[in-house]
């Protein structure tokens, strides 16, 4: 038995908020539509997602992850170290982390709360504009 999931990442206080939902297949367009309906604590909305597939046999008590996609980012902009130093000179911890850990570029996303994360080989930056939330 196999089942596919998509896990959305939203900005959190100390760690990213995560919401995992079932999905028929690793369909990027469907995942983007699903992202528009997710709001975490403090109004945080997704900045990225990954697909996973879980499987189990009749002999297994629980399923296990058997496949995982690259990370898909919902918009944002890529900055290298030189650009970060120029555009965000006050972000000394970010600059230091990039230098010490040899991080070539970061993705800066402002879908809800600003998020700066390393953009790694294989990651995908999607063109995306968050849907406007209607006040209740």
Residue 57: its pLDDT value, please? 84
Residue 7 in this model has a pLDDT that exceeds 50: yes
Residue 132: its pLDDT value, please? 67
Residue 134: its pLDDT value, please? 47
List the structure tokens of 89: 């000179």
- φ, ψ at 81 (rounded to 5°): -60, -45
Q: Are 55 and 2 in contact (CB under 8 A)?
A: yes
| pTM for the predicted model, two decimal places | 0.89
Closest CA to 3 of 53, 42, 69, 41: 53
Residue-wise pLDDT for 88-115, tens only, equals: 999 999 999 999 999 999 999 999 999 9
């Amino acid at each position: 038995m196999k089942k596919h999931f998509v896990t959305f990442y939203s900005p959190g206080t100390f760690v990213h908020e995560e919401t995992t939902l079932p999905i028929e297949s690793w369909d990027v367009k469907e995942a983007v539509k699903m992202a528009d309906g997710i709001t975490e604590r403090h109004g945080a909305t997704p900045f990225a997602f990954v697909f996973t597939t879980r499987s189990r046999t009749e002999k297994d008590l629980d399923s296990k992850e058997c496949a995982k996609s690259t990370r898909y980012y919902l918009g944002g902009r890529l900055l290298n170290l030189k650009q970060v130093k120029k555009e965000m000179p006050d972000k000394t911890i970010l600059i230091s982390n990039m230098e010490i850990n040899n991080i070539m570029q970061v993705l800066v996303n402002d879908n809800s709360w600003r998020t700066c994360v390393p953009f790694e080989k294989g990651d995908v930056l999607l063109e995306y504009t968050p849907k406007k939330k209607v006040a209740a």
